[in-house]
A and B are shown apart, each in its own frame.
Chain A
Amino acid sequence: MSAQLPANLSAETVREISDARDEPEWLLEARLEALEALDTLELPDVIQTPGRRWTNLEALDFESLVDPLNQADETTREAPDDVVVLPFTEAFDEYGDIIEERFGSVTDPETNYFTALSVALFTTGTFIYVPEGVNAEDVKIRAEMNSRSLFSHTLVVTEKSSSVTILEGVESGDADVDGERYFSNLVEIDAGENSYVQYGSLQNLDEDTYTYSLKRGDAGTYSTINWIEGNLGSRLTRSDVETELNGDASETKIVGAFFGHNDQHVDVNARVWHKAENTTADLVTRGVLDDHARSVYEGVQDVGRDAWSTNSYQRENTLMLSDESEADASPKLIINNHDTEASHAATVGQVDKEDLFYMVSRSIPEEQARNMLVEGFFVPVLEEIEVDEFREDLEALIAARLH
């Protein structure tokens, strides 16, 4: 079932956005194509269990959520000198050809209704270009959302034997917006031969916001794409993080952390496609739920026919702090090449009573002991983060939610 096209959306709207940004013709065309595709595109699949559709995307009222011409954000970008980190509008002159070649090459704008809507309407985001042989640490992008709706598109291109670690933070700004909001975030990574990317994302939008995020990487020969996906904000989060291992000996980690409370709904998905030889994937997600929060996780490891000598591992653990919270997890392993070492596992549980008693018996009050256990539960995720500021932010947000 596709969602209805909001009345305030037209080719005219899209032209206005593109004109205001002084974009090249090809991008306007790409936007218009995406807009046109909305008529036929479906919403992304969601997990269904008997009698229940976990994430009700159809209920999103785009008519009121999407306000394409009044998008506003305040985004800061910090980066070392030898790497290009710019808004698209400032990058077209010098890097127009690269952008034209790679934009939409990793994530097809017509993947689903949300992606097409995002490509048609995006007004913010970042172009990150790491030239051959450059090692860049601590690229930091911090975005504040200041409008009813905001559509963001980020493209990361790493050339041969380069490396980069990136932090993307997304928060709500002070702008006075009543009622529900919508944030859309597409991230594409095109990792060149023998390059390394760690892309960390921390979403902490206010709890009136509905968030859709699709992050997708194309890993070339000997390259590594590591994702760290932190979701603490939003009323509803739908997050998909995906890597296609297209080059021989390419690797990926998809590491996720979420912490839902109140009435938050978290729908996180991690997927990897092994399409070449000697590829390795490690999917690790840890989530905590309190109050009435709900989470649903889908993890997919798809080992293709030509993926000889594959290593692929997946673990997901959800910890529930209240009796009212709910979680569903669905780890999937599809193997079309027998030369594979793989594992997949998911658990949903509560704080271990014996662990808790052990700590309490050492004088630590129960509440404090529980909080230490929860913070410890996230450590496997925190340990993967290479941008210190990102780790500190995530730790602080977890601690704040516990106390």
Chain B
Amino acid sequence: MATLEIKNLHARVAEDDGEQILRGVDLEVKSGEIHALMGPNGSGKSTTSKIIAGHPAYEVTDGEILLHLEDGDFGDVDIPEDARTWNLLDLEPNERAALGIFLGFQYPAEIEGVTMTNFLRTALNAKIDEREELLFGEDEDAEEEEAGYDTSPMEGNVDDGEVGVAEFQKLLKEKMDLLDMDEKFAMRYLNAGFSGGEKKQNEVLQAAILEPSIAVLDEIDSGLDIDRLQDVSKGINALRDEQGTGVLQITHYQRILEYVEPDHVHIMLDGKVVKSGDASLAHELEDKGYDWVREEVYEAA
């Protein structure tokens, strides 16, 4: 079972006089749990998600983000004793992803000229390769060299990676069926010309393919009509039920929580998690609004 542990996280925008956004976030998400992270605009929810994934626009000024792994997190891969706890802040974004962190974007990039199939198979193979390297330190030298300019990091992955073309097609079809996605998406360019709902479905599809330990989903419910919301919710529940993924779901609205019932609900205000509870907290919030939380928190303090 994997655990994502965020401790006293402080962060600011990575530029001169960059605004301080996170002021001591504490949060713990385990495999198989569903957490909802709620809060008003500007409270730091999205920033938290981006920092977990390693977005370069933010600078962490204090605190840490740990990922604890156990045998079973990567199927039958035995995880060495000394590779069971990672400080994500020491890792590149692609390395974090390789260890099972997934960020579902609020605004997924539209990338012309790169097909979904090519992108996802490349990602899956890159994930497997990178994870091997991180866990077992294989090919340290080779990795150094691959990062260089003249060598060919693509060939190994694209042409003959761990997961071959036929095997991948099968996997993709299976996951697309599950999400009720049309097969034609596979040959389309990544998110290019997708509707808002299709993009969000595609984020969940990518999580289903990459099988993360912890998926952080940033407003996956925004811009979805009710049918699409149900498809996406079904996909999120499947991540948890079938892959044991831990989900940190960032949302403004109670609506999606009707379909994806959270085990825990957290409320952020001004760069901190100020209140946590079970699913009933979301209902209470729906009734009373953020001002209620604000009053309660600041009066107590």
A221 to B288, CA, bound (A): 72
B233 is an interface residue with CB less than 8 A from chain A = no
Asked if A373 and B206 make an inter-chain contact with CB atoms under 8 angstroms apart, the answer reads no
Which residue of chain A lies nearest to B148 when distances are taken between CB atoms in the complex?
A367
Asked if B97 and A358 make an inter-chain contact with CB atoms under 8 angstroms apart, the answer reads no
Find chain A residues with CB under 8 A from B122 CB: 364, 368, 372
Q: Which of these binds chain A: B49-57, B72-80, B256-264, B271-279? A: B49-57
Given A368-B122, A368-B157, A403-B153, decide whether A373 and B111 contact each other with a Cβ distance below 8 A.
Answer: yes
A361 to B146, CA, bound (A): 19
A352 to B151, CA, bound (A): 23
A22 is an interface residue with CB less than 8 A from chain B = no
Given A363-B123, A363-B127, A403-B153, decide whether A379 and B112 contact each other with a Cβ distance below 8 A.
Answer: yes
Interface string of B36-70 (1 = CB under 8 A from A): 00000000000000000111100000000000000
Asked if B114 and A363 make an inter-chain contact with CB atoms under 8 angstroms apart, the answer reads no
CB distance from A294 to the nearest CB of B (A): 20
A52 is an interface residue with CB less than 8 A from chain B = no
Asked if A403 and B55 make an inter-chain contact with CB atoms under 8 angstroms apart, the answer reads no
A-B pairs with CB below 8 Å: how many? 104
CB distance from A335 to the nearest CB of B (A): 29
Using a Cβ–Cβ cut-off of 8 Å, how many residues does chain A contribute to the interface with B? 28
Asked if A355 and B109 make an inter-chain contact with CB atoms under 8 angstroms apart, the answer reads yes
Find chain B residues with CB under 8 A from A377 CB: 112-113
A362 to B121, CA, bound (A): 11
Main SS of the interface on chain B? helix
- CB contacts under 8 Å to B, within A346-373, are 352-355, 357-369, 371-373
Find chain A residues with CB under 8 A from B147 CB: 365, 367
Find chain B residues with CB under 8 A from A373 CB: 111, 113-114
Asked if B154 and A371 make an inter-chain contact with CB atoms under 8 angstroms apart, the answer reads yes
Asked if B103 and A355 make an inter-chain contact with CB atoms under 8 angstroms apart, the answer reads no
Find chain B residues with CB under 8 A from A207 CB: none
CB distance from B3 to the nearest CB of A (A): 20
A403 to B54, CA, bound (A): 25
Which residue of chain B lies nearest to A368 when distances are taken between CB atoms in the complex?
B153
Asked if B154 and A403 make an inter-chain contact with CB atoms under 8 angstroms apart, the answer reads yes
Asked if B150 and A359 make an inter-chain contact with CB atoms under 8 angstroms apart, the answer reads no
B253 is an interface residue with CB less than 8 A from chain A = no
CB distance from A3 to the nearest CB of B (A): 38
Interface string of B117-145 (1 = CB under 8 A from A): 01110111011001000000000000000
A212 is an interface residue with CB less than 8 A from chain B = no
A380 is an interface residue with CB less than 8 A from chain B = yes
Find chain A residues with CB under 8 A from B150 CB: 403
CB distance from B183 to the nearest CB of A (A): 21
Asked if A375 and B108 make an inter-chain contact with CB atoms under 8 angstroms apart, the answer reads no
Asked if B119 and A361 make an inter-chain contact with CB atoms under 8 angstroms apart, the answer reads no
10 contacts between A and B (CB under 8 A): A355-B109, A361-B105, A362-B123, A363-B130, A368-B153, A368-B154, A372-B114, A373-B114, A377-B112, A378-B113
B residues sitting closer than 8 Å to A (CB atoms) are 53-56, 92-94, 96-98, 102-103, 105, 108-109, 111-114, 118-120, 122-124, 126-127, 130, 146-147, 150-155, 157, 189, 206, 210
